[in-house]
Structure 1
Amino acid sequence: MAVRRCLKVLLCGSLFLAFGLFCSQLSQTTERASGPWFGVFSPSKTGIDFSSLFSEDLPKPKCQKGQVLLILVTSHPGHRASRKAIRRTWAHQDEGSAYSWQVIFLVGGTLDTELDWHVYNEHAVHGDILMGNYMDTYRNLTLKVMHGMKWAVDRCHPQYILKTDDDCFVNTDRLPSFLRAHNPSPKLYVGSVFSEEKRIVIRNPSSKWYVSQWDYGHSMYPPYASGIGYILSLDTAMLVVGFAKIVPPIPVEDAYIGILSERSKVRPLSSARFAKHNVKWSICNYRYLMVIHGLRPEDQILAQKNVWRARTSCNHSTEVTNWK
């Protein structure tokens, strides 16, 4: 009887120890890869806690303070082909560039050790990835962008910030010089602004753009630019980041920027230079367009070649020098 009781005690002790180790490992994994939202949107009535978004898993990229343009590109950790294509095309700078600019990729965490390892190696080679302390999901895109904005404002102080996605082409051949020469005024927020009927808040829980009444009480968003690409001047970005600390976030990144800009009293300027669709643009269109959405990695090369051709092939046409 005593032996049997002893065996029961040992068995219970072993199970308790194993359970404790499991909980400890689970806690460490969750702490490493989670943020305020862990995979799904969690309702909040407070602003963004920026301190929770920064991860120490990956060294921060370096940036040159005061450069004309900083481009923040949202990218999933697994989109290595997209990042590679961008680095080879519009993120590549000629040695004789008149204005300084930089491209940084924004990624979140995963629970895939191998995928994280690839991201670490990629950053070790290129030094252009900013990793955040949140799961890399579509519903956490707001956190990803605000994390990038906060880092850019605090560390880099660029004159302008462009937010775009890794399936977009950016005309870096013209954009930095255009911003320096032709931007009309401070407090800039420009992109492809949605019409009123496209700004209705979606309440269908099955939609990836779903926002509950609790998350946002109004039935329509204020004017905002499409997330394919929008530019904020530094003063606007500082206001947006400041209000994000007190304005509850929603899981629709570009609409949230519109909400913050409204609080900042900065109205978005709509420009056809930001194209939501990739069509068969003429060579001369590349003297005008700044952001084009919907490119596969292999499409980036053709778009870059068209930019180079437009340098000499379209000198007969008058260059448009405003955002319209």
Structure 2
Amino acid sequence: MPSKVSCLYLLTVVCWASALWYLSVSRPSNSYAGQPTIPVRRAHKAGKNGTFSNVRARTLNPHDFGYLVNEAKKCEAEAPFLVILISTTHKEFDARQAIRETWGDESTLADVRVVTLFLLGRSTDAVLNQMVEQESQIFHDVVVEDFVDSYHNLTLKTLMGMRWVATFCPKAQYVLKTDSDIFVNMENLIFNLLKPATKPRRRYFTGYVINGGPIRDMRSKWYMPRDLYPESKYPPFCSGTGYVFSADVAELVYQTSLHTRLLHLEDVYVGVCLRKLGIHPFQNSGFNHWKMAYSLCRYRRVVTVHQISPEEMHRIWNDMTSKKHLKC
């Protein structure tokens, strides 16, 4: 009788062999450029999938999207020390699989419970939605809400993650929000930065802090219209490539977002919410939001590195785990 692993592997191969053919056919893409997507509002459902009881009746920015795929029982057995929220897109299966097999593996650290989740919106392509649903049935680490998955809806994706933590995992101690092309040095993150043996922090937020202002050039990927954000400076914010916060901040930011005008620049928007809350993000030079040339010693000192391919992810992980005896 074939093992469970063999069956899962066979199912994955069949699904993704079909996917490779499907994706090779020219078709309209999920555009990641242009004006912000205007989400279609759904009738809000009360209950555990809904918002929280202490939200005022009228909201400026109601986040009332239903879950299309959810893992509501992920934290029921035991509250995790760390929840990892990874922003991804439907076609990035290779990146998700590389993370599952390397730094995002929930069983990597025997003494520290970690929960890993991949965050997506709804694709305009029904086949891609079906493939992600099948993927979730195999790995049980995908959460999807009913908004269009696009670059300009990244803020909704992060708010979805905040909402999920506050609703389904409120007893977690810390949360890492990152992207699917990021390598995370888990030992540095957990044992050097968060330190499980110490008292959990509250209202804590850290990453690579940016102090900047809006770009008014319409040709820029980060263009910010003056009528949407009239101020000349942004509040300090952490690069969306990777930041860490205490789990209590998830509900605080989510609640604040309901009464804060939505901005399409996700990391800037979280910074705006933090300013309203009086929470100041701490600078940590270990969070790199750029590509770094690889060397074992250099990567041992960081927390995150940007623009890492699935192949590089495996190579770096294997190197770091098999050469722990080498001194720098």
TM range (shorter): 0.7 to 0.9
Residues of 1 paired with 2:321 and 2:243: CA distance? Answer: 23
TM-score by length of 1: 0.77
2:279 corresponds in structure 1 to 266
1:213 deviation in Å?
Answer: 2.2
SS in structure 1 of the partner of residue 293 of structure 2: coil
Q: Deviations over 1:145-189 (max 9, x none)?
A: 101111111111221111100000112234233312468943211
Q: Deviations over 1:71-126 (max 9, x none)?
A: 10000111111111111111124466111011100011112111111101100100
Between the aligned residues of both structures, percent identity stands at 29
1:121 corresponds in structure 2 to 134
Residues of 1 paired with 2:200 and 2:279: CA distance? Answer: 14
In our comparison, the structure showing a higher alpha carbon Rg is 1
Structure 2: unaligned runs, 5 residues or longer = 1-34, 40-57
Matched, 1:243 2:252: no
1:219 deviation in Å?
Answer: 1.6
Structure 2 residue identity aligned to 1:58: V
1:173 to 187, 192, 211: 187
Matched, 1:159 2:170: no
Residues of 1 paired with 2:99 and 2:142: CA distance? Answer: 13
Residues of 2 paired with 1:150 and 1:93: CA distance? Answer: 21
Change (3 A) 1:176 1:62: farther
1:100 corresponds in structure 2 to 113
1:279 corresponds in structure 2 to 292
More helix by share: 1
2:237 to 224, 228, 238: 224
Structure 1 residue identity aligned to 2:181: D
SS in structure 1 of the partner of residue 186 of structure 2: coil
Change (3 A) 1:306 1:274: farther
2:208 corresponds in structure 1 to 192
Q: Give the count of matched residue pairs.
A: 272
Structure 2 residue identity aligned to 1:190: T
Q: Deviations over 1:128-158 (max 9, x none)?
A: 1110111110000000110111111111122
Deviation larger for 90-99 or 226-235:
90-99
Structure 1: unaligned runs, 5 residues or longer = 1-37, 318-324
TM-score by length of 2: 0.76
1:310 deviation in Å?
Answer: 5.4
Change (3 A) 1:185 1:148: closer
- In 1, are the aligned partners of 2:208 and 2:287 still within 8 Å (CA)? yes
2:65 to 32, 41, 53: 53
Change (3 A) 1:302 1:262: same
Matched, 1:72 2:85: yes
1:254 corresponds in structure 2 to 267
Q: CA RMSD in A?
A: 2.4
Residues of 2 paired with 1:306 and 1:263: CA distance? Answer: 43
1:33 corresponds in structure 2 to none
- In 1, are the aligned partners of 2:204 and 2:245 still within 8 Å (CA)? yes
